[in-house]
């Protein structure tokens, strides 16, 4: 039994992160705001390697909502990558989108979801969709790997075509649950 | 430039920052800074905020990255800056040369009954900005230093972070449009022309 506490994306061999990267390029995203999550690590590496993408690492996720507001003001498209726990940090700042009608697509990797190990993740994980929707965000879930790309694409289209916050929640069933070596 | 208290008048400071502004875009934090930029020089180069407390500096960052040929000024208050203080680390990391942040520090929450902020009790925002990694900072307490602040905010290599200790008295309210969609659309049209609305 491994006792490693280093989190790795359990399906690191899956290719959907590369597909999300391709969608970010297809939809002309220029600023990628993020607080790192293991489930996004492969996508983050792809973004960092691309000189046409500005990766903005945040101290808290609400900064990303404000960054997306500024990017759109200046004519650039952006996206926010985060873990479900970070959604709670965004709540009031999401009002910027309803104030100004600003596209704000979010791609959220879930914790506190399917087979969670850590009790601390459950409260926010279970509340993630509700609080996003309470702030006017259109939310779509992907719980199978083959659903991730169509769902991300739908969320990007909805954000930029209809000027609002949208979120794709990538379920822990896709990502695998972090086990702290206790599986 | 001075209020009866002998401190710098925040609206006159705003006037100094915005007069002959050239192409400078301005994001104003909610409350007094939003009223001030509206009183002094309202128009499509301004985004006065009605909400999103703590987000003004990051909105400035997103705009500065999207419009690297434009100067971007974030004018905000001490309470708003304190709420988003972590963004100074994010901004230092990105190091946009065209971004300036100026805090009108009246040491109070002016919109909610003049409760004291932490800057009334020793918190030094310019020092915090330097700690976050922003090297180009300035603390202004004397009217004679405002001209140098204005020059730094407009012309120096960013990110620039300035703090001006201002009089805490309230000024006459001058409200911008409350419809945020108009405020956003007018700046986008200013930058991109009518095509902005077809994006």
- Mapped onto helix, strand or coil, the DSSP state of residue B108 is strand
pLDDT digits (tens, 9 = 90+) for A104-115: 999 999 999 999
Domain region containing A131: 16-138+151-175
Closest to A105 in 3D by CA, of A153, A174, A144, A57: A153
Task: Confirm or reject contact between B100 and chain A (CB < 8 A).
Answer: no
pLDDT digits (tens, 9 = 90+) for A50-82: 999 999 999 999 999 999 999 999 999 999 999
Average pLDDT, chain A: 92
Identify from B34, B58, B182 which residue to disrupt to test chain A contact, counting A C-beta atoms within 10 A and taking the largest count: B58
Asked if A111 and A85 touch (Cβ cutoff 8 Å), the reply is yes
Task: Confirm or reject contact between A182 and chain B (CB < 8 A).
Answer: no
- The CATH number assigned to the domain holding A71 equals 3.40.50.970
Contact B63 A70 (CB under 8 A): yes
Written as one string, the DSSP assignment of A72-124 is: HHTT-EEEEEEEHHHHGGGTGGGHHHHHHT--EEEEEE--SSTT---GGGHHH
Number of structural domains, chain A?
A: 1
pLDDT score for B199: 83
Taking contacts as CB-CB distances below 8 angstroms, the residues of chain A near B159 are none
- Chain pair A-B, CB pairs under 8 angstroms: 120
Q: Please tell me which of the candidates A59, A72, A96 has its beta carbon nearest to residue B90.
A: A59
Taking contacts as CB-CB distances below 8 angstroms, the residues of chain B near A68 are 62
pLDDT of A147 > 90? The answer is: yes
Task: Determine, yes or no, domain membership for B149.
Answer: no
Average pLDDT, chain B: 97
pLDDT digits (tens, 9 = 90+) for B86-123: 999 999 999 999 999 999 999 999 999 999 999 999 99
Asked if the interface predicted TM-score (ipTM) of this complex is over 0.90, the answer is yes
d(CA B47, CA B26): 6
Q: Please tell me which of the candidates A62, A69, A93 has its beta carbon nearest to residue B62.
A: A69
Task: Determine, yes or no, domain membership for B4.
Answer: no
Measured in angstroms, the CA of B55 and the nearest CA of chain A are apart by 5
Which DSSP helix (H) or strand (E) runs through B165? strand B160-165
pLDDT digits (tens, 9 = 90+) for B21-66: 999 999 999 999 999 999 999 999 999 999 999 999 999 999 999 9
Measured in whole angstroms, the distance separating CA B35 from the mean position of its chain's CA atoms is 12
pLDDT score for A6: 45
pLDDT of A118 > 50? The answer is: yes
pLDDT score for A1: 42
Taking contacts as CB-CB distances below 8 angstroms, the residues of chain B near A101 are 180-181, 184
pLDDT score for A176: 83
Task: Confirm or reject contact between B30 and chain A (CB < 8 A).
Answer: no
Identify from B23, B29, B54, B62 which residue to disrupt to test chain A contact, counting A C-beta atoms within 10 A and taking the largest count: B62
Domain region containing B42: 10-122+132-141+165-198
pLDDT score for A88: 98
Asked if A72 and A65 touch (Cβ cutoff 8 Å), the reply is no
Q: Percent of chain A beyond pLDDT 90?
A: 87
Task: Determine, yes or no, domain membership for A146.
Answer: no
d(CA B118, CA A144): 48
- Helical H segments across chain A, by residue range: 16-26, 41-48, 62-73, 84-87, 95-100, 122-134, 145-162, 172-175
pLDDT score for A3: 47
Task: Confirm or reject contact between A67 and chain B (CB < 8 A).
Answer: yes
Task: Determine, yes or no, domain membership for A2.
Answer: no
Taking contacts as CB-CB distances below 8 angstroms, the residues of chain A near B27 are 70
- The CATH number assigned to the domain holding B81 equals 3.40.50.970
Give the up-direction half-sphere exposure of residue B133: CA atoms within 13 A in the CB hemisphere. Answer: 11
B13: which 2 tokens?
């400071």
Task: Determine, yes or no, domain membership for A7.
Answer: no
Task: Confirm or reject contact between B59 and chain A (CB < 8 A).
Answer: yes
Q: Percent of chain B beyond pLDDT 70?
A: 100
pLDDT of A2 > 70? The answer is: no
pLDDT digits (tens, 9 = 90+) for A7-24: 445 554 579 999 999 999
Section B2-20 average pLDDT: 96
Residue A181 CB neighbours (<10 A): 12
Task: Determine, yes or no, domain membership for A106.
Answer: yes
pLDDT of A153 > 70? The answer is: yes
A71: which 2 tokens?
């990017």
pLDDT of A4 > 70? The answer is: no
A15: which 2 tokens?
């290719």
Contact B180 A99 (CB under 8 A): yes
pLDDT score for A183: 55
Query: For residue B52, what are the CA distances in angstroms to A95, B172, B196?
Result: 7, 23, 23
Task: Confirm or reject contact between A100 and chain B (CB < 8 A).
Answer: yes
φ and ψ of B133, to 5 deg: 110, 5
User: Do you find a cis peptide bond into B159, omega within 30 degrees of 0?
Assistant: yes
pLDDT score for B7: 96
Task: Determine, yes or no, domain membership for B66.
Answer: yes
Section A121-147 average pLDDT: 97
Number of structural domains, chain B?
A: 1
Taking contacts as CB-CB distances below 8 angstroms, the residues of chain A near B57 are 66
Contact B65 A76 (CB under 8 A): yes
Task: Determine, yes or no, domain membership for B5.
Answer: no
């Amino acid at each position: 039994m491994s006792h490693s506490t280093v989190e790795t994306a359990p399906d690191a061999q899956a290719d959907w992160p590369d597909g999300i990267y391709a969608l970010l390029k297809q939809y002309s995203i220029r600023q990628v705001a993020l607080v790192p999550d293991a489930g996004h690590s492969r996508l983050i590496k792809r973004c960092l390697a691309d000189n046409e993408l500005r990766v903005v690492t945040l101290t808290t996720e609400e900064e990303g909502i404000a960054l997306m507001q500024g990017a759109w003001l200046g004519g650039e498209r952006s996206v926010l990558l985060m873990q479900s726990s970070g959604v709670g940090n965004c709540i009031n700042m999401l009002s910027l989108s309803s104030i100004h009608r600003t596209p704000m697509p979010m791609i959220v990797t879930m914790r506190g979801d399917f087979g969670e190990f850590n009790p601390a993740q459950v409260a926010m994980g279970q509340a993630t969709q509700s609080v996003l929707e309470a702030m006017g965000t259109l939310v779509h879930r992907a719980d199978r790997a083959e659903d991730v790309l169509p769902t991300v694409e739908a969320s990007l289209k909805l954000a930029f075509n209809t000027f609002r916050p949208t979120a794709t929640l990538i379920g822990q069933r896709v990502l695998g649950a972090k086990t702290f070596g206790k599986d | 430039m001075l209020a009866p208290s002998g401190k710098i008048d925040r609206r006159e400071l705003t006037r100094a920052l915005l007069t002959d502004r050239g192409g400078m875009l301005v994001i104003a934090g909610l409350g007094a800074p939003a009223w001030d930029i509206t009183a002094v020089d309202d128009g499509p180069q301004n985004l006065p905020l009605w909400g999103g407390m703590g987000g003004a500096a990051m909105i400035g960052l997103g705009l500065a990255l999207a419009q690297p040929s434009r100067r971007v000024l974030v004018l905000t208050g001490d309470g708003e800056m304190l709420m988003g203080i972590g963004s100074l680390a994010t901004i230092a990391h990105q190091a946009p040369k065209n971004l300036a942040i100026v805090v009108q520090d009246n040491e109070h929450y002016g919109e909610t009954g003049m409760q004291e902020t932490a800057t009334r009790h020793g918190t030094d925002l310019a020092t915090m900005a330097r700690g976050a990694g922003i090297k180009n900072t300035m603390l202004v307490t004397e009217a004679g230093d405002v001209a140098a602040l204005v020059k730094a905010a407009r012309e120096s290599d960013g990110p620039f972070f300035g703090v001006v200790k201002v009089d805490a008295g309230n000024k006459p309210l001058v409200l911008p449009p409350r419809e945020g969609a108009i405020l956003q659309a007018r700046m986008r049209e200013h930058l991109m022309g009518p095509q902005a609305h077809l994006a």
